Amino acid sequence: MTRNRILAVTVEESTYKTRTVRMEASVEAPAYFMRLLGFTQTTVRAAGMASRRDVNLILLIDRSGSVAYAGADDEVRASAKAFVDRFSESRDRLGLISFSGAYSVDFPYGMDFKTRAPQNLGQTIDALNFPSGGAFTGSAQGLYQAYQQLVNIGEPGALNLIVFFTDGRPTALTANFPVKSLSDTRYRWDYPSSTTTYPACPCTPPPSNKFGFIGADPCISLPCDLYPATGTTYGVMKADAATSFQSEWTVAPNSSGCNYAPGTGSSCPFGTCNREKMRMDIAYIPDQDHHGINIKTGYLSPDVYSSGPYAGKVRVDSPRALRYAANNLANNTATYIRSDAALTPVIFAIGLGGTSAEPVDHDLLLRIANDPTSPTYVSTQPTGLYVYAPTPAQLNEAFARVASEILRLAL
């Protein structure tokens, strides 16, 4: 029988943010045929080594109302929990941001994501709210805030990742919106297919920019493959800390005197009246958002005012203009993130079908992830992956595929 079995294991940080495990084993085994040559035993030795980079991962979850509307919220929670459980406590660093029109940092990043009290990451995912009234999808702001978490961690040697889950197309964007200081003719807020002349807005203090998000009329039961040029647009709403239907529709601060300022009384629950009057107060969608990322330019061409004092500027009174601008901003934000040569962030996108009259845009998600099959794949930027789950039942498989790819990259 064997004797003197020895196993030596060493764990070290062989290079910055890379953990290497070395194993050396030996055992004395009895000889059989070799006894004819005078040997009664032989020593068998083996050695192995494995390395793995540390992972900094921000999970970005779309909690817009279509998930709850389709009854898929339980599948989203279960799949996300199984996904984060694949990573290593005390070595990997995970965080969670959720978004609809606004965003919320639900679980600040940390290495204690499995044991943090009073609520770990799995419990936080269990508590995620998918309000049926969360009507908007502000993908660009969610992506940028996830990136900021990686910037705050600040570990260029680690594998820095954003895993972006969504079930629909962008319908909202966040920016500093110029207040309407001049009279012009545009679509009415109450009868959007007709035009009227609106004077300069009455917002106080004197006209300036208003920060928050604006959103296009959501599609719930009708297909939205063709975006209408006319319809309802909403704003200006609070850009952060939205965790429920009530706060999702909260008017942005400093709206005193504005037409879009919240109404009061039983006919205006949660102060939700007047949001559609935003077009009376806001002049146009700016060319760039508050981070300096392009909105007007990109792979789509938003509708612009054809005449008047704001000619050439992107319209705030057109759902199609707003949606095209939101798509451009999401794509351009992802490009901006991947351009960070120090952190080299990798973006993985997971799209869910079967939940909405307004399905995911595969082309956009391929671009955001810089998937090798993207029509605009950039070989000089980090390569990600887009995985599509046609139904909620296939979502766990999609998350598992992304996890496997991440762990492969970490080796």
- Which sequence spans correspond to the domains of the chain? 3-53, 56-170+328-410
Residue 20's pLDDT band, with cuts at 50, 70 and 90, is very low
**Residue 277: what pLDDT?**
93
**Residue 359: what pLDDT?**
82
Say yes or no to pLDDT of 21 above 50.
no
Which of 46-55, 164-173, 272-281 shows the lowest per-residue confidence on average (mean pLDDT)? 46-55
State percent of the chain over pLDDT 70. Answer: 81
Do the bridges between strand 346-352 and strand 172-178 make them parallel or antiparallel, or are there none, so unpaired?
unpaired
Whole-prediction pTM: 0.87
- Overall average pLDDT of the 339-351 stretch: 97
**Residue 223: what pLDDT?**
57
Q: pLDDT averaged over the chain?
A: 86
> What pLDDT digit, counting tens, does each position of 331-343 carry?
999 999 999 999 9
AA identity, residue 80: A
Q: 56-170+328-410: which CATH architecture?
A: 3-Layer(aba) Sandwich (3.40)
**Residue 5: what pLDDT?**
74
Say yes or no to pLDDT of 222 above 60.
no
Say yes or no to pLDDT of 16 above 60.
no
> What pLDDT digit, counting tens, does each position of 61-120 carry?
998 878 877 788 999 999 999 999 999 999 899 999 999 888 999 999 999 999 999 999
Greatest mean pLDDT range, 30-34, 125-129, 189-193, 366-370:
366-370
- Overall average pLDDT of the 262-274 stretch: 62
Say yes or no to pLDDT of 266 above 80.
no
Say yes or no to pLDDT of 25 above 70.
no
Nearest-angstrom CA–CA distance, 411 and 407 = 7
Say yes or no to pLDDT of 225 above 70.
no
State percent of the chain over pLDDT 90. Answer: 60
Residue 102 CA neighbour count, 13 Å, CB half: 26
- Overall average pLDDT of the 320-331 stretch: 96
More confident residue, 108 or 268: 108
Residue 165 near residue 350 (C-beta atoms within 8 A): yes
**Residue 372: what pLDDT?**
97
- Overall average pLDDT of the 245-258 stretch: 75
**Residue 52: what pLDDT?**
60
- Answer positive or negative: Cα dihedral of 392, 326, 186, 180: positive
Nearest-angstrom CA–CA distance, 283 and 208 = 10
**Residue 282: what pLDDT?**
95
Phi/psi for 134 (5° steps) reads: -80, 90
3-state secondary structure the chain: CCEEEEEEEEEEEEECCEEEEEEEEEEEEECCHHHHHCCCEEEEEEEEEEEEECEEEEEEEECCHHHHHCCCHHHHHHHHHHHHCCCCCCCCEEEEEEECCCEEEEEEEECCCCCCCCCCHHHHHHCCCCCCCCCCCCHHHHHHHHHHHHHHHCCCCCEEEEEEEECCCCCEEEEEEEECCCCEEEECCCCCCCEEEECCCCCCCCCCEEEEEEEECCCCCCCCCCCCCCCCEEEEECCECCCCHHHHCCECCCCCCCCCCCCCCCCCHHHCCCHHHHHHCECCECCECCCCCECCCCCCCCCECCCCCCCCCECCCCHHHHHHHHHHHHHHHHHHHHCCCCCCCEEEEEEECCCCCCCCCHHHHHHHHCCCCCCCCCCCCCCCEEEEECCHHHHHHHHHHHHHHHHHHHC
**Residue 360: what pLDDT?**
87
> What pLDDT digit, counting tens, does each position of 103-137 carry?
999 999 999 999 999 999 999 999 998 876 667 89
**Residue 50: what pLDDT?**
47
Which of 179-183, 254-258, 285-289, 400-404 shows the lowest per-residue confidence on average (mean pLDDT)? 254-258
